């Protein structure tokens, strides 16, 4: 848990929602963890429920910061905050049905993030997806980095315009999308075909695997094609957000062409 100085803690904007109190924050983490942007707790935490909040937040990869009681009182609007406040994200999550019912393109383009851990990568991919007018970015509930202040910043404002979905299962989601006529494509440096050989003009799902571990085996089975990005230098692979950008811009090039 990072130490947050008194001056660095932002007072919540009027439109921001704050949940305070030990039981209320625990319930929030159990029921809607994706809605939590950051948690602030008092210094020198010894209460068992506050320790439970810290452990749960770490498991869910929700950032935490320490704050003095007077700052928690300012954030919560009351001194009866029990030493903990949770700031809620302003992101509205869409269902997959909502996205499919109102596509942005005549030939929809979706991006699936399979458990990316780095919020900078998540934000960068959302930024690129918005730049190429993709229909939505799909994230797996409970897997990878949550939508946080870091994701907001890395997206450079794109998060306010891009539809983001949360789904329970990547496998079931890909099965559904294939039934709806989508082609599923992913990248692997050992693939036979280049990413430019793929027909990006048809309804497409681009799946980006997690940093390090890559695609899951069941996800790979559901890909209609695995492509590679040609590399001429000494490095063997690209950062996942860069790789997503290369492929998404190839999709836009083909579609505009």
pLDDT of residue 123: 94
Q: What's the Cα-to-Cα distance from 27 to each of 79, 87, 145, rounded to whole Å?
A: 20, 14, 20
Domains plus CATH for the chain?
2-88 (3.30.1330.30), 93-256 (3.40.1280.10)
Angle at 141 between CA 140 and CA 143, to 5 degrees: 70
Q: Which of 161, 29, 151, 164 is nearest to 110 (CA)?
A: 164
pTM for the predicted model, two decimal places: 0.75
Which tens digit of pLDDT belongs to each residue from 94-121?
999 999 999 999 999 999 999 898 989 9
Tens of pLDDT along 209-254?
A: 988 778 888 999 999 999 999 988 887 778 999 999 999 999 999 9
The residue among 131, 151, 128 whose CA lies nearest residue 208 is: 128
Mean pLDDT estimate for the chain: 88
CB atoms within 10 A of CB 146: 26
- 178-192, pLDDT tens digit by residue? 999 999 999 988 889
Would you say the C-alpha torsion 59, 65, 70, 75 has a positive or negative sign? Answer: negative
| Model pLDDT for residues 142-164, shown as the tens digit of each residue | 788 878 777 888 999 898 899 99
Q: Of 9, 10, 1, whose CA–CA distance to 50 is shortest?
A: 1
């Amino acid at each position: 848990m990072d130490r947050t100085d008194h001056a660095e803690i932002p007072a919540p904007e009027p439109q921001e929602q704050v949940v305070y109190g030990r039981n209320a924050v625990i319930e929030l983490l159990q029921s809607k963890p994706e809605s939590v942007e950051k948690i602030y707790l008092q210094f020198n935490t010894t209460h068992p429920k506050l320790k439970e909040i810290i452990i749960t937040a770490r498991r869910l990869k929700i950032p935490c910061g320490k704050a003095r009681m007077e700052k928690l009182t300012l954030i919560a609007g009351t001194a009866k905050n029990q030493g903990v406040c949770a700031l809620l994200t302003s992101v509205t999550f869409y269902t997959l049905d909502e996205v499919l019912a109102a596509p942005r393109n005549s030939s929809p383009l979706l991006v699936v993030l399979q458990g990316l851990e780095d919020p900078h990568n998540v934000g960068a991919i959302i930024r690129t997806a918005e730049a190429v007018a993709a229909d939505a970015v799909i994230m797996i509930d409970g897997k990878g980095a949550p939508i946080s202040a870091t994701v907001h910043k890395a997206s450079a404002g794109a998060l306010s315009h891009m539809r983001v979905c949360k789904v329970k299962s990547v496998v079931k989601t890909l099965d559904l999308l294939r039934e709806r006529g989508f082609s599923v494509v992913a990248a692997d440096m050992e693939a036979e075909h280049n990413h430019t050989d793929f027909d990006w003009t048809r309804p497409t799902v681009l799946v980006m695997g997690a940093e390090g571990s890559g695609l899951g085996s069941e996800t790979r089975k559901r890909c209609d094609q695995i492509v590679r990005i040609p590399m001429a230098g000494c490095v063997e692979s690209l950062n996942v957000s860069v790789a997503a950008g290369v492929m998404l811009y190839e999709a836009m090039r083909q579609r505009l062409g």
